[in-house]
A and B are shown apart, each in its own frame.
Chain A
């Protein structure tokens, strides 16, 4: 008889506040990094300001109450990619003093310490896709790290033409979604280490979002597509597995006709009205996964003044190591599903977002949640 997973819930405990520049708000996980230094007992938080290519870094003693707001230290990163004004695409954290950045337009990767001093810079061997141009695109997700491996998304340079014609769109379906580089192998940091399946598929081509992804403890790459509940697991050896992990609120999304991809109004209305699976996040401290489900607001398209994304109800699913859903918590809209950060003390979730009238632009604010065994079934 199969063992039933223990159902789990999250309990709000502490809050964390970080004093920040007023213009900074990390809207996506590509701009947020965390590392726990178990030797020194410190937690490190990193924020990438993509408008100024600046790294903001702070640390706090792990496990101790720290009621005062943390102060950020600014580190200029403009030197990383030859003073390129283009926003740094994303950040990944190997350890408290080892970070990786990617510049999409320059096709470059850069390994630095926490003070922004370059340790290694290289360009993945190109072209990845035969004669096609490509660029590295993290789809606003972080650069995932596992041991000395960094996992990156990439796509063709002419991504901007995806909606120009159906031939381009179908050609785009053939592209692989990402690749893996080994930062210790500085001579051949390229795509030979691993490569992942097509970014879009015919089945998923009405998901207007890029796939969401994370890396499992064994190095497997997990990814999901927009409104679909399946999680695709892909090993570096090429093995594939599909696990269905639906939300208890799951409802099928309607299809978005390809012709409407060209217009903002229907795209916005689609994204507001239809449900969508958001980020999938690995919690390495509790050996679980977290998965965001945005419920959608079916009446949003008919309103003269559209609701805000910040009004959308969402829930946070908790999955065990086998990707079984062991809990799902309905979150108040004040919490930001883009800012879910597993840490050594628990799961931090942003609880002040710029869309809210009460937002204080001087602080980043997080609510800390800890796991607790639930009394009843998860759904």
Chain B
């Protein structure tokens, strides 16, 4: 992969970072404090998409913002578009979706439930959310409406992490 510039170092750094480890499960929201990551993500879904965390069983939210390594994120989106995912997998993404062709977007919508944070042309809320993902991309696993795990991934580890996601039985 070619790296075009050294604004660069931002892109470069993320693209070469080692596979991250899974952080401990998020704790319950602390009262009277700034929202923790679980509360932050829950609030984000509610305010941006008017959705609550899925209350039934396990749910997987794949988070791919437009900040960070764009080339890596494109590869991750393409991978997601090639596999039919189970109904309890949701992709949350932002401006990168505009970079896909119409056919790719349609395919992505067929394969996974998609939440598109694209109200602005750049720097949508998802791109600025301080979730515990070193490379800004990751999976939020929830159980009965509560966040139980944040699983970060980057270009080296996304395929391994995607292996964990439930697939459609079709």
Q: Which residues of A come within 8 Å of B, CB atoms?
A: 23, 25, 28, 30, 51, 86-87, 89, 104-105, 135, 137-140, 155, 159-164, 208-210, 261-265, 267-268, 271, 302-310, 353-357, 359, 361
Interface pick from B12-20, B50-58, B79-87, B142-150: B12-20
Distance of A35 Cα from B119 Cα, bound (Å): 36
Distance of A364 Cα from B44 Cα, bound (Å): 31
Q: With an 8 A cutoff between CB atoms, is B108 at the interface?
A: no
Distance of A36 Cα from B110 Cα, bound (Å): 51
Q: Which chain B residues (32-76) contact chain A, with CB distance < 8 Å?
A: 34-35, 40, 44, 67-69
- CB–CB B121/A25 < 8 A: yes
Distance of A12 Cα from B123 Cα, bound (Å): 27
- CB–CB A305/B121 < 8 A: no
Given contacts A159-B3, A209-B9, are A265 and B133 in contact (CB under 8 A)? yes
- CB–CB B2/A261 < 8 A: no
Residue of B9, B67, B120 touching A354 (CB-CB under 8 A):
B120
Q: Which chain B residues (120-170) contact chain A, with CB distance < 8 Å?
A: 120-123, 125, 128-130, 133-136
Q: With an 8 A cutoff between CB atoms, is B103 at the interface?
A: no
In the complex, the chain B residue whose C-beta lies closest to that of A159 is B3
- Name which of B40, B68, B122, B134 has the most chain A CB atoms within 10 A of its CB: B122
- CB–CB B9/A89 < 8 A: no
- Name which of B1, B2, B35 has the most chain A CB atoms within 10 A of its CB: B2
- CB–CB B123/A308 < 8 A: yes
Residue of B2, B44, B120, B128 touching A135 (CB-CB under 8 A):
B2
Q: With an 8 A cutoff between CB atoms, is B4 at the interface?
A: yes
Q: Which residues of B come within 8 Å of A, CB atoms?
A: 1-10, 12-18, 34-35, 40, 44, 67-69, 98-99, 119-123, 125, 128-130, 133-136
- CB–CB A359/B4 < 8 A: no
- CB–CB B9/A140 < 8 A: no
- CB–CB B40/A210 < 8 A: no
- CB–CB B5/A160 < 8 A: no
Distance of A38 Cα from B129 Cα, bound (Å): 50
Residue of A89, A263, A306 touching B4 (CB-CB under 8 A):
A89
Given contacts A162-B9, A210-B6, are A305 and B130 in contact (CB under 8 A)? yes
Give the Cβ gap from B23 to chain A, nearest Cβ, in Å: 12
Given contacts A105-B2, A264-B135, are A361 and B13 in contact (CB under 8 A)? no
Residue of A104, A305, A310 touching B125 (CB-CB under 8 A):
A305
Across-interface contacts of A89 in B (CB, < 8 A): 4
In the complex, the chain B residue whose C-beta lies closest to that of A311 is B123
Across-interface contacts of B123 in A (CB, < 8 A): 308-310, 354-355
Residue of A261, A307, A356 touching B13 (CB-CB under 8 A):
A261
9 shortest A-B CB distances, which residue pairs?
Answer: A210-B6, A354-B121, A354-B122, A308-B123, A306-B128, A263-B134, A355-B123, A140-B5, A264-B14
Residue of A138, A304, A310 touching B130 (CB-CB under 8 A):
A304
- CB–CB B121/A359 < 8 A: yes
Across-interface contacts of A86 in B (CB, < 8 A): 2
In the complex, the chain A residue whose C-beta lies closest to that of B67 is A268
- CB–CB B134/A359 < 8 A: no
Residue of A137, A139, A265, A355 touching B134 (CB-CB under 8 A):
A265
Distance of A140 Cα from B136 Cα, bound (Å): 23
